[in-house]
Amino acid sequence: MSPISRRQALAGAAASTALFTMPESFAMTAAQDLILVNAKVTTLDRENPVADAVAIRDGKFLAVGTEGEVRAAAAPNAKVIDAKGRRLIPGLIDSHIHVIRGGLNYNMELRWEGVPTLADAMAMLKKQAENTPPPQWVRVVGGFTEHQFAEKRLPTLDEINAAAPDTPVFILHLYDRALLNAAALRAVGYDRNTPNPPGGEILRDAQGNPTGLLLAQPNATILYATLAKGPKLPPEYQLNSTKHFMRELNSLGVTSVIDAGGGSQNYPDDYEIVEKLHKDGDLTLRIAYNLFTQKPKEELKDFASWSTQIRPGDGDDTYRHNGAGEMLVYSAADFEDFRQPRPDMAPEMEGDLEPVIRLLAERRWPWRMHATYDQTISRALDVFEKVNRDIPLKGLNWFFDHAETISERNIDRVAALGGGIAVQHRMAFQGEYFVERYGAKAAEATPPIKRMMDAGVPVGAGTDATRVASYNPWVSLSWLVTSKTVGGLALYPVRNRLDRETALRLWTEKNTWFSNEIGKKGQIKAGQLADLALLSDDYFAVPEDEIAHLRAVLTVLGGKVVYGEGDFGPLAPKAPKAMPDWSPVATFGGYYRRDEHAKKFAAACACHSACNVHGHDHAAALGAKVPAADVQSFWGALGCGCWAV
């Protein structure tokens, strides 16, 4: 990191970071209209549900209908994009993501999200360890589960040490464990004299030395605290990293997010990067942000201070404040590690929570509250109802996050208080663990989304990325429609699944309630913000098992193209070069893409045997011992022998 100050670096970053530039062939004047034609438009506007063209003016939809209608409405010099018959949907909105924190770190993280085999994942790890200079780490920070791998397991510590003998490696698996190689243990200073923190365990060998496995029991603080010991990117790289993370989300059709704060995300220091991007006009997402309390026992002080400095709604349509949470008080925070028994909240929970809720209600601050279990929700609702008797909560748009095991009675209590529930696809990553602990019957309505909707509770969808689940919205949409985990386990009976349109609404118009923007966006409708995504395939026509593999080929934010690929690539701004040059983003990109990763994996592990799925044969290349001489034939039912290692 250079010796200049953080603020100096931020001020000069525009000169050192490559900027997005629009190709001259698609340069638009500020007043010029944009038309998209030859599209299958899903408007989600019940009065005008389908169309084949849209016109955009001044960042908003001008007309939605037939090509003739939109051409008649637009100016004669409008720029025209031929959608080539593809499905066009409103831009996706993630109601729960940690995008501000995630952006600061994105370029440092190796992503295993969507990678189909452990063999592939380990080849990536080995290659990245070779690329990463000291004292930097290789970090795999969430977004995956062992169940997605064909091998159905995590790597062993011996395998990690063999792949990266000298470079520190930190692998976070959900919020239940972290795996560190020997170099990482040395880097963080864990030895036989390091005590276990409250709620966490450092596993040790017979001599008392740490093995490299850290367990949340069930408190994940040990995982966060260890990760925080790693090097950080300098500010100019954080700017670049955040641009890349936003572009990655744009590539999946995401145009808006609600940031849920996060541990180790301090206000206002850790917001300098996103605020500079906003000031410079470089945000390619609309961000509404909640403020997450920073220190146990000082929660009331935090919100009392912040509520004199900023008000919900402050900002503009691109960057705006959204209220409090998802952490309101530490004593009310349960944990979503279904490998562990449900934690009981502390006896002081209600006493800590009530003054904070009373302050927020008095100052008309909406809030969101992390609550996985019905027992936590019950106790929180006792507090909310008590405050409501003095200060009515209706109209505040407060809501619970997660609510996997919420009861019917508590759903009705939420409805009576005018609250909402934001659900995430954490069960897609932990469903197997939930079934193992509580049984398949208990998992059939976890969370009970249809019951919430039937009760009139506003429900929206999101990811809780980047650590506990993937940021890919299509994995969430696949889970909502099919009920399947990323490991293929079907959780819900048909009566508890959503049809494709209902699921899409939870990712678009329904999420606007959670940021107090109803009617402003979420539909393709004249007068709304012109945010849209043109898809790689037809969401409404592809087989269910293909939904998770969809992405955007063109993404438009407020009438401006922010992402394009293939035929639409020349219309889009050029991505800046990933910084630093050893970034995993530069080598492997982001979420796994079947059509692009085969060559990258082959190069990473030097496999050259043909494989119909991955383009190479790990089993042969790694000398795996399998119960057949011809792996490709033996595992022919899958068309691939890569996973048999």
Question: pLDDT, tens digit, for every residue of 554-610?
Answer: 999 999 999 999 999 999 999 999 999 999 999 999 999 987 655 555 555 544 444
Check whether 315 has a pLDDT greater than 80: yes
Tell me the C-alpha distance between 400 and 325, whole Å.
Answer: 10
Q: Give pLDDT tens digits for 106-150.
A: 999 999 999 999 999 999 999 999 999 999 999 999 999 999 999
What strand order describes the sheet that includes 200-204? 138-141, 169-173, 177-180, 210-216, 200-204
Check whether 622 has a pLDDT greater than 80: no
- Whole-number pLDDT of residue 26: 57
CA angle (426 as vertex; 420, 431 as ends), nearest 5 = 125
- Asked if 224 and 262 sit in the same domain, the reply is no
- Asked if 251 and 142 sit in the same domain, the reply is no
- Asked if 328 and 416 sit in the same domain, the reply is yes
- Whole-number pLDDT of residue 633: 34
- Asked if 200 and 307 sit in the same domain, the reply is no
Residue 364 is assigned to a structural domain of this protein = yes
DSSP, collapsed to helix, strand or coil, labels residue 21 as coil
Residue 532 is assigned to a structural domain of this protein = no
pLDDT confidence of 217, banded at 50, 70, 90? confident
- Asked if 184 and 313 sit in the same domain, the reply is no
Residue 373 is assigned to a structural domain of this protein = yes
> DSSP letters along 467-489, please?
TSS-S-HHHHHHHHHH-B-TT--
- Asked if 271 and 395 sit in the same domain, the reply is yes
Residue 480 is assigned to a structural domain of this protein = yes
Q: In which element (H, E) is residue 160 found?
A: helix 157-163
- Asked if 309 and 391 sit in the same domain, the reply is yes
- Whole-number pLDDT of residue 618: 43
Residue 139 is assigned to a structural domain of this protein = yes
- Asked if 460 and 408 sit in the same domain, the reply is yes
- Asked if 377 and 434 sit in the same domain, the reply is yes
Q: Which residues contact 529 (CB under 8 A, 6 or more apart)?
A: 59, 60, 61, 286, 317, 520, 521, 558
Check whether 429 has a pLDDT greater than 50: yes
CATH of residue 176: 3.10.310.70
Q: Of the residues 483, 518, 553, which one is the last residue of a structural domain?
A: 518
Tell me the C-alpha distance between 6 and 407, whole Å.
Answer: 48
User: What percent of the chain has pLDDT above 70?
Assistant: 88
Q: Give pLDDT tens digits for 62-83.
A: 999 999 999 999 999 999 999 9
- Asked if 462 and 367 sit in the same domain, the reply is yes
Q: What is the mean pLDDT of residues 447-468?
A: 97
Residue 489 is assigned to a structural domain of this protein = yes
Residue 43 is assigned to a structural domain of this protein = no
Residue 549 is assigned to a structural domain of this protein = no
Nearest Cα to Cα of residue 35 among 404, 532, 610: 532
Tell me the C-alpha distance between 99 and 368, whole Å.
Answer: 16
- Asked if 258 and 113 sit in the same domain, the reply is no
Q: Give pLDDT tens digits for 8-65.
A: 444 444 444 333 334 444 555 557 999 999 999 999 999 999 999 999 999 999 999 9
11-25, 245-259, 274-288, 314-328: lowest mean pLDDT where?
Answer: 11-25
- Whole-number pLDDT of residue 18: 35
Is the pTM of the predicted complex or chain greater than 0.75? yes
CATH of residue 412: 3.20.20.140
- Asked if 185 and 327 sit in the same domain, the reply is no
CB 267 within 8 A of CB 306: yes
- Whole-number pLDDT of residue 28: 58
Q: Of the residues 190, 212, 229, which one is the last residue of a structural domain?
A: 229
Number of domains the chain contains: 3
Q: Of the residues 179, 208, 229, which one is the last residue of a structural domain?
A: 229
DSSP, collapsed to helix, strand or coil, labels residue 94 as strand
CA-CA-CA-CA torsion for 546, 92, 601, 138, nearest 10 degrees?
Answer: -140
Q: Which domain holds residue 637?
A: 613-644
Token look-up 């909707």 returns: 453
Query: Which comes out higher in pLDDT, residue 2 or 358?
Result: 358
CB 121 within 8 A of CB 153: no
- Whole-number pLDDT of residue 597: 56
Average pLDDT score over the chain: 90
Q: In which element (H, E) is residue 215 found?
A: strand 210-216
Tell me the C-alpha distance between 264 and 260, whole Å.
Answer: 12
Residue type, 436: E
Q: What is the mean pLDDT of residues 526-552?
A: 98
